[in-house]
Amino acid sequence: MERPWPVEILLDIFERIAEWDTKTYAVKRIAATRPASLAACTRVCRAWNGPATMVLYRELSCISFADHDSQTSTMSCRNANRLLLATLSARPELAAHIRTFQLGFGTDCARTPPMRYGSLDMMVELLSLCLNLIHVDIILGCIQLAYPQELAKLKQPDMLLLSKLRRVQTLTVRGVEDHACELIEPASDVILQFLKVWPSVQILSVSIADRTRSRWWLPPTLKAPHVLPRLREIRHGNTCGDYAISPLLPFVPNLAHALLMHPSQELISELPLSLKRLSLGCFTCPLEGLDLQRLSQMHCLEGISLCGTEVDIEFALSYLDALPAQGIQSISLPIQVLAVAELLVPALARFPRLSAVVIRARSRLISPEEELEIMTVKSLFEQHVRQIDVVLEPFLGWDDVPRFMIPARRP
């Protein structure tokens, strides 16, 4: 009788189903095809059932299983939420596998047809069953005019339930893309409630639509220094970054990395000078001289990343020229800058401690043409600059976070 394959090998096979990125979680890539394939693997045999089930339930998205509601002519997550709640309640061992969970409440009227995510109460019930959650990805939709505004905030019993999730390290909060409807947006301080109930959060990713840019209300209980001591990284992917995260900065004493896809002049001036890493995007519009001066004062910076799919080469070079030269050890650049490689080489030569240059590809799949471009740049560096490791890596979205393997990979 043949011996069964080791669990580690089966896990590695299941990780690669449906062209899945084994290193990075990207919420937009959760599709129904992957769960369907993994569910089929669980039914092959007893040896496959356990490992396939672990991978199947590790990352869940109720939104991927929304169905059409003929009565309201909308897409609805109600059935998916109800079935998942019944399953996890009856089988808590499945809930123990979940590390990443994407869900939401309210309605996204920007979609065609509109998407109804469900109620805040249902979201709290589902989250409270997943005690091993590490990454929570929440979508804040609009709520009905007849729906009391207070119900868009966490009540004290809800906060007690969610406080049992002591392993949450990453919190992603997304607003809907448009509010051109007669619904009202949820209270913005619900985001701060999540941060209060999960003090273990280390990475906060926020993307709030234009009409949700009212200044955050800080409850009295949060108006204390060092309120978020574990928060190390803040990301913002919307044009209204100063409205969304600016009021948080005084309460994050240990912030090490800020990622701003659309940095504003005000927000750049408010960033702490103690940052270790800074990622900036959307270089189609230049920052003022004041912002460049602020960058020159960040002497603690060890890494800089210029990101985005649309990059103005002139502006990108001006950012590099403004950076303090002594501390920078790594620089990440989009592959578009290779079009002016002859200008890039002297711009990077001014960093004496620079040891690594990461070039981001145009997509998550690296093309042969891009690999050829990198080989050309490497030879150019070898001729004019000291030894620097130049590597080509896949494109990363602003909200991509490391994936959490089950079990952790062995060295």
Q: pLDDT above 70 covers what percent of the chain? A: 75
Q: Tell me, what's the pLDDT at 284?
A: 56
Q: Tell me, what's the pLDDT at 403?
A: 62
- Co-location of 48 and 95 in the same domain: no
Q: Tell me, what's the pLDDT at 128?
A: 93
Residue 203 lies in a domain: yes
Q: Tell me, what's the pLDDT at 195?
A: 86
- Co-location of 36 and 157 in the same domain: no
Residue 318 lies in a domain: no
More confident of the two residues 286 and 147: 286
Q: Tell me, what's the pLDDT at 385?
A: 67
pLDDT bin (cut points 50, 70, 90) of residue 251 is confident
Q: Tell me, what's the pLDDT at 80?
A: 84
- Co-location of 100 and 184 in the same domain: yes
Specify which of 59-73, 141-155, 171-185 reaches the highest per-range mean pLDDT. 59-73
Q: Tell me, what's the pLDDT at 147?
A: 46
Residue 185 lies in a domain: yes
Residue 241 lies in a domain: yes
Q: How far apart are CA 212 and CA 193, in angstroms?
A: 17
- Co-location of 214 and 192 in the same domain: yes
pLDDT bin (cut points 50, 70, 90) of residue 94 is very high
Q: pLDDT above 90 covers what percent of the chain? A: 15
Give pTM, 2 decimals.
Answer: 0.84
Q: Tell me, what's the pLDDT at 71?
A: 67
Work out how many domains the chain is built from and give that number: 2
- Co-location of 186 and 213 in the same domain: yes
The whole-number average pLDDT for the span 75-90 is: 87
Which residues is 391 bridged to in the sheet?
358
Q: How far apart are CA 14 and CA 12, in angstroms?
A: 6
- Co-location of 212 and 73 in the same domain: yes
- 334: nearest Cα among 295, 355, 304, 301: 304
- Co-location of 44 and 173 in the same domain: no
Q: Round the average pLDDT of the chain to a whole number and report it.
A: 77
Q: Tell me, what's the pLDDT at 238?
A: 61
Give the residue from 37, 65, 93 where a domain finishes. Answer: 65
What tokens does 122 get? 């249902």
Residue 8 lies in a domain: yes
Give the residue from 195, 210, 245 where a domain finishes. Answer: 245
Q: Tell me, what's the pLDDT at 313?
A: 76
pLDDT bin (cut points 50, 70, 90) of residue 308 is confident
Cα separations (Å) of 231 from 2, 198, 250, 252, 404? 50, 11, 12, 6, 19
What is the phi/psi pair of residue 106, to 5°?
90, -160
- 102: nearest Cα among 173, 184, 11: 173
Which residues is 143 bridged to in the sheet?
184
Report pLDDT digits (tens) over 120-129. 888 899 999 9
Give the residue from 25, 42, 65 where a domain finishes. Answer: 65
Q: What sign does the dihedral 212-213-215-216 (CA atoms) show?
A: positive
Report pLDDT digits (tens) over 364-399. 677 788 888 888 777 777 776 667 788 888 777 777
Residue 1 lies in a domain: yes
Residue 88 lies in a domain: yes
User: Do residues 262 and 230 touch, judged by C-beta distance below 8 A?
Assistant: no
- Domain containing 54 equals 1-65
- Co-location of 40 and 155 in the same domain: no
Q: How far apart are CA 242 and CA 248, in angstroms?
A: 10
Q: What sign does the dihedral 75-81-86-91 (CA atoms) show?
A: positive
- Co-location of 148 and 53 in the same domain: no
Report pLDDT digits (tens) over 335-370. 887 777 778 888 888 888 888 888 888 776 777 888
- Co-location of 59 and 97 in the same domain: no
- Co-location of 211 and 71 in the same domain: yes
pLDDT bin (cut points 50, 70, 90) of residue 214 is very low
- 176: nearest Cα among 242, 122, 117: 117
What is the phi/psi pair of residue 355, to 5°?
-125, -15
Report pLDDT digits (tens) over 45-61. 888 888 888 888 888 88
Q: Tell me, what's the pLDDT at 86?
A: 93
- Co-location of 44 and 138 in the same domain: no
Residue 343 lies in a domain: no
Residue 206, number of CB atoms within 10 A of its CB? 21
